[in-house]
Amino acid sequence: MRAVRMEDVGHAIIDNIEIPVPGAGEVLLAPRYSGVCATDLHVLHHHLGNGPIPLTMGHEVTGRVVKIGPGVPEHLQEARVVVEPVLPCGDCVYCRQGLINLCPHMSHLGIWKDGSFADYVTVDANRVTVVPGNVADIDAALVEPLACAINFSDKAPIRAGDRVAVLGAGPIGLMTVQVLAAMGAAVLVSEPEPKRRELAQVCGAQVAIDPLHDDLLQMAADWTGNGGCDVAIECGGVSATVNDAFRIVRRGGHVVLAGNTFEPLRVDIAPIVAGELIVQGANATRWQVPRALRLISEKRVQPSKIVSQIYPLTKTVEALESAHRDKNQGKLMIEIETP
């Protein structure tokens, strides 16, 4: 079968490898669409997680179950499913409390285990969820990043009508905007790339500000009537967006840090101390997949709005390069037509 393999740091190729065999409790999935995510770029260029190499990349996926391993419920045979790619150990003190994304022994599709940029992938049956009939494949493929956005939004006590800032409108920031808008929050976006600001407004942001050329804090003060935002969700993972998040919220407000980073940031903590801000990290997903599917099925969000290009599996390396090089675009997707 065809598989996009990370051969070395910064180097991926399309290769031919054996079709994996589903073990006990596993299913074999034929992916239909798989999304290109910043995490894939972190794996490829920074070797995030120090997983095994060569490794099949990709973790955001929908597809059809083509084979079930021993002990897997029959109803999953031929089912159209999405995958929650966090693979917790199931046995540690965190897993036993349902805090699966905090599992210190966690594995993850496309980081430590062969992923979904391939004709076939094996996944644990208890990590798949059946897709409702009215959810299109392209939207189903975006359930995982949507579930991450729900996780981020779960981390602060957001009320209808609250003013929420999203700092950084890459695909995950754009997903967060859709979730917040569906929750009844008013959303301000800060994003330097024009195409992403446009998409932010399509996703429901009231205002989209260019932090490099506009006076972000003054515009946010005007938008909130000088009170500051109730919540800021930081999706950039760089010093500028983190500092903006701390400065844009009101006193006593919440800041959710969701952007990943690979080097120490330079952060001014004065606004946290003086304003008694509540700062919370957010990572991956924790049982938000069923809610993500429900939001799509009920037409309260449409994640495929942010898709700017679909590549065939054979062009995945080009898609990864494009996502790395050009930030002025939305989500890139890989379409997989298994021969």
Q: Tell me which residues touch Zn ion (CB under 5 A).
A: 37, 39, 60, 88-89, 92, 95, 103
Q: Give me the catalytic one of 39, 224, 241, 316.
A: 39
| Rounded least distance, CB 98 to Zn ion, Å | 11
| Rounded least distance, CB 220 to Zn ion, Å | 28
| Rounded least distance, CB 327 to Zn ion, Å | 16
* Other C-beta atoms lying within 10 Å of the C-beta of residue 100: 21
Q: Which amino acid, 58?
A: G
User: Which lies closer to Zn ion via its Cβ, residue 39 or residue 304?
Assistant: 39
Phi, psi of 322 (to 5 degrees): -65, -45
Q: Is 21 exposed, middle or buried (0-12, 13-18, 19+ CB in 10 A)?
A: exposed
| Rounded least distance, CB 90 to Zn ion, Å | 6
Q: Give me the catalytic one of 11, 42, 45, 285.
A: 42
User: Which lies closer to Zn ion via its Cβ, residue 248 or residue 323?
Assistant: 323
Cα–chain center distance at 116: 15
User: Which lies closer to Zn ion via its Cβ, residue 35 or residue 204?
Assistant: 35
The reply to whether 39 belongs to the active site is yes
Element (H, E) at 331: strand 331-335
Q: Please name every residue paired with 233 in a beta bridge, in sequence order, or none if there are none.
A: 166, 256
Q: To the nearest 10°, the Cα dihedral for 321, 327, 330, 335?
A: 0
User: Which lies closer to Zn ion via its Cβ, residue 103 or residue 257?
Assistant: 103
Element (H, E) at 124: strand 121-124
DSSP string, 30-97: EEEEEE--HHHHHHHHH-GGG--SSEE---EEEEEEEEE-TT--GGGTT-EEEE--EE--SSSTTGGG
User: Which lies closer to Zn ion via its Cβ, residue 65 or residue 143?
Assistant: 143
| Rounded least distance, CB 99 to Zn ion, Å | 8
User: Which lies closer to Zn ion via its Cβ, residue 152 or residue 223?
Assistant: 152
Q: Which of 335, 292, 319 is nearest to 37 (CA)?
A: 319
Q: Is 295 exposed, middle or buried (0-12, 13-18, 19+ CB in 10 A)?
A: buried
SS3 110: coil
| Rounded least distance, CB 91 to Zn ion, Å | 6
Enzyme catalytic residues: 39, 42
